[in-house]
Amino acid sequence: MFHERQPATVAHALTVDVEDWFHVCGAEQAAGERSGQGRVLHTTALVLDLLRSCGVRGTFFVLGSVASRYPELAPRIVAAGHELASHGWSHRLVTELSPQEFGDELLQTADLLERQTGQRPWGFRAPRWSLSRQTTPWAFEILAQQGYRYDSSLTPLAMIGDPAGPRLPHRIETAAGTLWEIPPLVTATPLGNLPTGGGWGFRFFPLAMIRHTLQVHQRQGGPGVLFMHPRELDPDGPRLRLGLLREFATYGPQSSAAGRLAALMRSFSFRPLGEQVALWQTAS
């Protein structure tokens, strides 16, 4: 019953934050980065294989420092037909950066990705959803100034975002122009929004709940934005010691991520966020 593809005008988005196994916010000074034992080329190849097997093109938010260390990575993503977007340079939270530092990171990442692939990113996602209308209101104007057309960082979740924020895509007007904000998928419940679009919630809550949420988004004008990290397809890869709760949120339960993604990618239509934004811009 889930095999029917939706009309081309309604499509969801599969997004990948391309970073290494040790890019977990607050823990990245760990030995991994210093030792240079990265696994991101291997794990990103697993993601590319999975998307190819499902016939889905996604959006890859690439960390500038990772693209710099592995110059072959971004061209591989583009060659496979996916959209390249920016995850900043250093993986520092936007709340820890000055406006100048934020702008410099954005520019450095976009310049590098363009040199490597000929494509300049349209989209941005902040490390750990650390963009906010309350704490970093200046960031949206800087994004628009630099030619970014959308952001996908405002999660309507307690603790890490604004639980009262919109669940659906919306426009943010800045002095430098309009930016589309496309939040990651959450499921609204009487107890609050649940993190079903990615991370531990995607692996933990019933798959039927995630399907239902995608259908609701579709009716309301979607897209539902799923997100993942390449390390999630690498269950035997190295892990950081983060304490019980953060280890669960970061790593567990792992085994179902690839199977669930494949099931959803075969049931629903997906398109890169940049193409979705271009359609909205044409329509408005």
CB of 10 to Zn ion, least distance (A): 28
> HSE on the CB side for 86, CA within 13 Å?
30
CB of 158 to Zn ion, least distance (A): 20
Q: Which is nearer to Zn ion, 17 or 181 (CB)?
A: 17
CB of 128 to Zn ion, least distance (A): 6
Residue 100 three-state SS: helix
CB of 230 to Zn ion, least distance (A): 11
DSSP for 234-278, written as a single string: -TTS------HHHHHHHHSS-TTHHHHHHHHHHHS-B--HHHHHH
Place of tokens 């034992």: 37
Phi and psi based region of residue 147 (left: phi greater than 0; alpha: psi -120 to 50; beta: remaining) = left
CB of 24 to Zn ion, least distance (A): 8
Distance of alpha carbon 195 from alpha carbon 16, whole angstroms: 16
Q: Which is nearer to Zn ion, 59 or 267 (CB)?
A: 59
Q: Which is nearer to Zn ion, 19 or 234 (CB)?
A: 19
Q: If we measure between CA atoms, which residue out of 58, 59, 69 comes closest to residue 22?
A: 69
Instruction: For residue 83, count CB atoms less than 10 angstroms from its CB and return exposed for 0-12, middle for 13-18, buried for 19 or more.
Output: buried
Q: Which is nearer to Zn ion, 65 or 117 (CB)?
A: 65
| Peptide bond before residue 223 is cis, with ω within 30 degrees of 0 | yes
Applying CB under 5 A, the residues found at the interface with Zn ion are 17, 19, 127
Q: Which is nearer to Zn ion, 17 or 105 (CB)?
A: 17
